[in-house]
């Protein structure tokens, strides 16, 4: 995979899911859609905020700014922590939908891939690959 293709993939992986998260979370937050499962309002708000942060990170990555990679690491850290919280709430039989646990797992895995691709591209630039 060429450096340019890796760069494009990372930008798409960061921006498209961010847009989808804002759209879906916004429709739930503003009552335009009512899921058939238990919704955690704080999780919806978190996802919308991180959706916007994902757009900013994607823009920084597209512009090849260091802060884009830093934001990617920050997003991965945040998603990892929230995934653990949601997972433990679910395991202790708190009212958490299994779809919420799965969604946070997917978000965390996606940002792990983005972060690893950024690291891989950075190592190739510096000759460490």
pLDDT in tens, 28-86: 988 888 887 888 999 999 999 999 999 999 999 999 999 999 999 999 999 999 999 99
Sign (positive/negative) of CA torsion 63, 67, 69, 75? negative
Which segments within 31-100 are labelled E, that is strand? none
Please, is 107 exposed, middle or buried when counting C-beta atoms within 10 Å of its C-beta (0-12, 13-18, 19+)? Answer: buried
Identify the residue whose tokens are 């597209």: 62
Give residue 21's pLDDT.
94
Domains of the chain, by residue range, sit at: 3-122
Higher pLDDT: 79 or 94? It is 79
pLDDT at 127 over 60: no
For the segment 117-122, the average pLDDT, to the nearest whole number, is 82
Give the integer Cα–Cα distance in Å for 93 and 127: 49
Write out the two tokens for 120. 């891989």
pTM over 0.85: yes
């Amino acid at each position: 995979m060429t450096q340019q293709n890796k760069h494009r993939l990372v930008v798409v992986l960061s921006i498209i899911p961010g847009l989808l998260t804002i759209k879906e979370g916004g429709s739930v937050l503003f009552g335009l859609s009512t899921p058939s499962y238990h919704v955690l309002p704080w999780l919806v708000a978190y996802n919308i905020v991180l959706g916007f942060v994902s757009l900013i990170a994607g823009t920084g990555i597209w512009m090849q700014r260091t802060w884009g990679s830093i934001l990617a690491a920050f997003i991965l850290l945040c998603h990892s922590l929230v995934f653990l919280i949601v997972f433990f709430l679910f395991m202790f039989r708190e009212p958490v939908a299994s779809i919420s646990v799965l969604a946070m797992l997917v978000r965390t895995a996606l940002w792990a891939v983005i972060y690893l691709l950024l690291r891989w591209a950075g190592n190739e630039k510096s000759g460490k690959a």
